[in-house]
Amino acid sequence: MNQYRHRDDCRLCGSTDLELVLPILPSPIGDAFVSQAELDQPQPLFPLDTYLCKACGHVQNLDIVDPEILFRNYTYRTSASMGLVDHFRKYAAHVVGTLGMQPGDLVVEIGSNDGSLLKAYRDHGLRVQGVDPARNIAAAASAEGIPTLPDFFTAAVAEQLVQQLGHARLMCANNVFAHADGIGDIVKGIRTLLAPDGAFVFEVSYIPDMIDGFVFDTIYHEHVSHHALIPLERFFNRLDLSLFDVERVPTKGGSIRGYAQPKSTGQRPQSARLLAMMAEEERRHITEPAIYRQFYQDIEARKQTVLAYIDAAKAAGKTVGVYGASTTATTLLYHFELEKRATMMFDDNPIKHGTYSPGAHIPVYPSEQLYTLRPDIVVIIAWQYSTPIMARHQRYMDEGGQFLVPLPSMQLHPQR
């Protein structure tokens, strides 16, 4: 069964000089919550081993799950919320202003989904074109006036678009850039399609922020590249692109919005903040193994602290639940081996209620059932939201329950 394949070379530079720096434990597909009727179907675990390329410094996962399996389980995915539409409107206005886009300029978005971002660009008088492999979503976007090619973006697709539409003054890619295994061909296509004075804008999560914030749970099967600026700039340069600016974005535990242009024809100077962030990466030796080896040791120390507490409590007959039913929660659940210890899961999203967690099949309950099921300890695996969760469930603590926040270092509420 070829459910996943392992590649032996770096996704950015092709080197085979790779070191396994973060051996995150295997987990099932993080978002694959199942119904009662699906409980008899076993869910396999897939590797999350994370490697550093010692040639270019790129941090990546090399075990690529078959997209059929990865996306089959997306039944529960929700569409763009009102908040997201507002985010796109501000994002587009900001980019149009920053880059001096003119009415009639062409914008191409890779992974354009339902066209929400492109609609915002269209409102600025720009010509727009989406590319998205999800045929039904692409068709719906096209019907709403956002022309969308139902395909994966490749160098060949880029050639075709240049013939049909001319060159793009702006290209964007958000989730795709950290999620695509074939990033080399995508970037070749971007270079082909970009006008000589064009710009490419993308958002990716930022590995120095992952380390500083302990958000190693943003490593999951869809998310195969964990970017830093130095390896990315080396990669871009080989394909005649170059970064000229970067902004910090607070999503996903710390992300960056990068701006690149054709290296041979782009006129924009590299910004002071880009140079400062690259210098900081240099200072921290972000392309070398030591920082990741230390990060892994720090993760392991936290895991052992949490497990010592949980195992002592279980030995004393206490019951353990977890709070949070999401993709990142699955990574943490499995890496901390809590899937073997927790017997109930709580979440506030009604879509998850009555389902069972991926792989371990822990039942998911509404959080109100904290008061009827009364687990002695609840580990908040959605730990980035622990403050609002605990505020909402003060009564659980008042009635004798205890919350355990596992990261960035273990906290008990109340302390007892």
Applying CB under 5 A, which residues contact Zn ion?
Answer: 10, 12-13, 15, 53, 55-56, 58
Q: What residues are paired with 149 via a beta bridge? A: 131
Would you say 15 or 102 has its CB closer to Zn ion?
15
Would you say 56 or 201 has its CB closer to Zn ion?
56
Helix (H) or strand (E) segment spanning residue 305: helix 289-315
183-186, Cβ contacts within 8 angstroms, sequence gap of 24 or more? 183/11, 183/12, 183/225, 184/11, 184/12, 184/239, 185/154, 185/155, 186/110, 186/153, 186/154
* CB 191 to Zn ion: min, Å: 19
**Joined tokens for residue 329:** 């929660």
Would you say 235 or 365 has its CB closer to Zn ion?
235
* CB 59 to Zn ion: min, Å: 10
* CB 292 to Zn ion: min, Å: 14
Burial of 70 (0-12, 13-18, 19+ CB in 10 A): buried
Would you say 56 or 364 has its CB closer to Zn ion?
56
* CB 8 to Zn ion: min, Å: 12
Which residue type sits at 326? S
Which residue type sits at 14? G
Closest listed residue to residue 157, CA positions, set 195, 197, 124, 130: 130
Would you say 16 or 36 has its CB closer to Zn ion?
16
Q: Where are the beta strands (DSSP E) in 135-254?
A: 148-149, 168-173, 194-205, 225-226, 241-249
Angle at 289 between CA 288 and CA 290, to 5 degrees: 100
* CB 5 to Zn ion: min, Å: 18
Would you say 184 or 366 has its CB closer to Zn ion?
184
* CB 183 to Zn ion: min, Å: 11
Using the 8-state DSSP alphabet, how is residue 344 labeled? E
Core vs surface per residue 84-110: b (16+ CB within 10 A) or e: eeebbbebbeebbeebebeeebbbbbb
Would you say 62 or 407 has its CB closer to Zn ion?
62
Would you say 55 or 62 has its CB closer to Zn ion?
55
* CB 408 to Zn ion: min, Å: 29
Maximum Cα–Cα distance for the chain, whole Å?
71
Core vs surface per residue 173-204: b (16+ CB within 10 A) or e: bbbbbbbbbebbbbbbbbbbbbbeebbbbbbb
* CB 290 to Zn ion: min, Å: 17
